[in-house]
Structure 1
Amino acid sequence: MYKRAQYQIITERLKESRHFLQVVLGPRQVGKTTVIKQVVNDLKIPYQIYSADSIPATQTSWISDCWNTARVQMRVENLPEFILIIDEVQKIKNWSEVVKKEWDADTFNDINMKVVLLGSSRVLLEKGLSDSMMGRFEEIRMTHWSYPEMRDAFGISLEQYLYFGGYPGAVFLIEDEERWAQYINGAIIDATINKDILYDSPISKPALLRQTFELGTAYSGEIVSLTKMVGALQDAGNTTTLAGYLNLLGDSGLLTGLQKFAMDKSRQRASAPKFQVYN
């Protein structure tokens, strides 16, 4: 199985003495869970993987339950070290406070529990990390797959890569374009907007967020002023609202507005953005 560059980074950090939580960030469907499974299978260190995907957001005790289960296993089996992996941790309310409490408890009690957090919502994860976890974590960022990675792993051509992008899970669907499009819409676009952005972000007009994304993708590669976009969208409000939505879409790995390069920051910020879809 193909191993990305992050495989080596994560492996080296988990071999080190326990110093920091490892936080793996990246868009949906780029292989975060796959690479961590490759790492722990090759390390031969006892581990447990838990996912918060189907856990109610208000069940804050779930993280502590996972942590305590891992501690019990360490104690019963007399293990010198253990790896605890929690996927989509940002979906649990106040997750950062719970993680901080449990991590600090292990540090105080000299428990050699190495922890990896995985998350697809950069917005929610970074808020929790900045609020409570300062000085306790290291970030490992994963991006969409590059052309050399897709070529070496799946043998696709440059033309196929430019059209279908760097989503490894969708490679076997590229011969059926309609099926591939359904996968991208459901597993990536809808999941990112509905589960990551709208899940816990104060969006007053969810329909407008979706319209902004769709219009931005239609203008991908073109320079369009936000004022013009306000006129093209229904119930758009003002350019400040659109700029905020673009920031959320950019942080989630879907769509960004590139500002014109200028040494003068005020000119740069005042320029009309060039829309560009990620991947």
Structure 2
Amino acid sequence: MYKRAELEILHNRIHESRKHIQVIMGPRQVGKSTMVRQLCDGLVIPYLFTSADAVAGSDETWLMQTWESARLKMKTSGAIEFLLIIDEVQKIINWSEVVKKLWDEDSFNKLNLKVVLLGSSRLLLQEGLTESLAGRFEVIYLPHWSFMEMHEAFGWNAEQYAWFGGYPGSADLIDEESRWKRYVSDSLIETSISKDILMLTRIDKPALLKNLFEVGCLYSGQILSYNKILGQLQGAGNTTTLAHYLHLLGTAGLLTGIEKYSPTTIRKRASSPKFQVQNNALISAQSAQYFDNIQANPVEWGRVVESVVGAHLVNMGIKEGFKLYYWRDRNDEVDFVLEYNEKIIGLEIKSNISKQQKGMDAFRRKYNPNKVYIIENRGLTWQELLKLNPLELF
């Protein structure tokens, strides 16, 4: 079974002295639970692995009972240390306050009970961590699978990854693409929206949120104002509602809005978003096109390529901590701007012959970036870019 690089990080932290709660977060179906089971298979430390997935959302008692069970197991086994693992912890209302209370009790009593928490709702996890558990946790972010991971685990080439995305659980179905589309739509998209957004956050217009997701996927890699989007959506709404819903879709690992680059924070936030899926499977599963014929259309395939590069940059940005933007000034545009450690670089994806690159010259004159890259067949290709950690570009 394929082991992601984050497994070694988690393994090393678990074998350190008890310092922090380890929090593993990331989208659904990226292997968080599988990674923890792989950890458990090689553990000498006794452990308890349980999930809040089937627990009533208000049941704080369950969380306290589970923690107490771990304490008792540690005591009866005579172990000098014990590991408690709780999956989907964000489903317990007020979970962070309960965890804080129990963790602090163990610290005061010098009980060597180590804790790992897993969750797929990045928004709810981060809110609980920052509000109640400051100074008590470390985060391991598990993003969507990269091209190199899908290549090493399943032998995929870059073109397959660009179309089928990075969901390992669907990899065996791509030879039956109609079946693959149904699986991704029903088991991944619908579940993520329902369980990570609608069940956990107050949504006044759920149909509008789902409609926004569908339109955002359709226009992945394109810049659209919220007012223009409203004209294509069914159901009343306003730009503030759309921005909020797009933020929720982003924290669920589905669809995000990339801001326009500007040295001024206010201008960044006031900009029209560049829609970007975090996994290209979200586009392909809803498309009437199929892998066998999509590459014959240079314009459509070019959009797929630009979107898969954007998805790679979004996921790596969350994981590695660099910021991702686009830039546009009138008719001049740069596909992606990366900012890290007070350095900026520009990336232009030349995915088809007709695409112009005059925007990069205007961007260089205005901001004097540290580096610029034109991704094309004659230089650094998009296939090669998918193999890189973007920090290597700086």
| TM-score calculated relative to the size of structure 1 | 0.97
Q: Secondary structure at the match of 1:43?
A: coil
Q: Residues 44-63 of structure 1 correspond to what in structure 2 (within 5 A)?
A: 44-63=44-63
Aligned to 1:95: 95
Whether contact under 8 Å (1:259, 1:269) holds in the other structure is yes
Distance (whole Å) between structure 2 residues aligned to residue 236 and residue 193 of structure 1:
20
> Across the two proteins, how many residue pairs are aligned to each other?
279
Distance (whole Å) between structure 1 residues aligned to residue 186 and residue 97 of structure 2:
32
How far the C-alpha of 1:158 sits from its partner, in A, is 1.2
Q: Residues 197-276 of structure 1 correspond to what in structure 2 (within 5 A)?
A: 197-276=197-276
How far the C-alpha of 1:249 sits from its partner, in A, is 0.7
Moved more, 195-204 or 259-268: 259-268
Higher relative contact order (CA 8 A, sep 6+): 1
Distance (whole Å) between structure 1 residues aligned to residue 267 and residue 196 of structure 2:
32
| Alignment deviations for residues 232-277 of structure 1 (CA, whole Å, 9 cap, x no partner) | 1122321111111111111111011112222233333333221111
Structure 1: gaps (5+ residues): none
Whether contact under 8 Å (2:222, 2:274) holds in the other structure is yes
Q: Secondary structure at the match of 2:42?
A: helix
How far the C-alpha of 1:40 sits from its partner, in A, is 2.2
Aligned to 1:138: 138
Whether contact under 8 Å (1:236, 1:242) holds in the other structure is no
Distance (whole Å) between structure 2 residues aligned to residue 30 and residue 43 of structure 1:
22
Tell me whether 1:6 sits opposite 2:6 in the alignment: yes
Larger Rg: 2
Aligned to 2:380: none
Question: Aligned Cα RMSD in Å?
Answer: 1.2
Q: Secondary structure at the match of 2:199?
A: helix
How far the C-alpha of 1:137 sits from its partner, in A, is 0.6
Distance (whole Å) between structure 2 residues aligned to residue 258 and residue 84 of structure 1:
37
Q: Secondary structure at the match of 2:83?
A: strand
Moved more, 229-238 or 12-21: 229-238
How far the C-alpha of 1:90 sits from its partner, in A, is 0.5
Q: Which amino acid aligns with 1:254?
A: L
How far the C-alpha of 1:47 sits from its partner, in A, is 0.9
Q: Residues 163-202 of structure 1 correspond to what in structure 2 (within 5 A)?
A: 163-202=163-202
Aligned to 1:32: 32
How far the C-alpha of 1:100 sits from its partner, in A, is 1.0
How far the C-alpha of 1:41 sits from its partner, in A, is 1.6
Aligned to 2:84: 84
Q: Flag the structure with higher helix content.
A: 1
Whether contact under 8 Å (1:257, 1:275) holds in the other structure is yes
Q: Secondary structure at the match of 2:231?
A: helix
| Alignment deviations for residues 197-228 of structure 1 (CA, whole Å, 9 cap, x no partner) | 11221211111111110111111111111110
Structure 2: gaps (5+ residues): 280-394
Distance (whole Å) between structure 2 residues aligned to residue 85 and residue 265 of structure 1:
39
Whether contact under 8 Å (2:207, 2:235) holds in the other structure is no
| Alignment deviations for residues 11-54 of structure 1 (CA, whole Å, 9 cap, x no partner) | 11001000100000000000001111111222321111100111
| Alignment deviations for residues 155-178 of structure 1 (CA, whole Å, 9 cap, x no partner) | 111111111111111111111112
